[in-house]
Amino acid sequence: MKIRIDHGTCIGSGQCTLTAPAVFTQDDDGFAALVPDGARTATPRQVTQAALSCPVQAIALGNDPPDA
């Protein structure tokens, strides 16, 4: 599963990092970033829950998610 974060939409709420800390982290400015290789180790359920937790729908999932 590929994961894309729309950095123009992310508001840095941190919900994704709380829900799936193996996949999502926050950069120095507090915005979401992907943990290297995190998507390979997390379960689809964890990633999906993190995406659903995002209050601004900044996380896109799928085999070919839209570029963000």
Chain contacts with ligand SF4 (rule: CB under 6 A): 5, 10-16, 32, 53-54, 56, 58-59
In the complex, minimum distance from the CB of residue 32 to ligand SF4, in angstroms, rounded to a whole number: 4
User: Which segments within 6-57 are labelled E, that is strand?
Assistant: 24-26, 32-34
Of 11 and 41, CB closest to ligand SF4: 11
- A 10 A CB-CB count for 34 gives 15
In the complex, minimum distance from the CB of residue 63 to ligand SF4, in angstroms, rounded to a whole number: 20
In the complex, minimum distance from the CB of residue 49 to ligand SF4, in angstroms, rounded to a whole number: 11
Count of alpha carbons within 13 angstroms of residue 7, beta-carbon side = 10
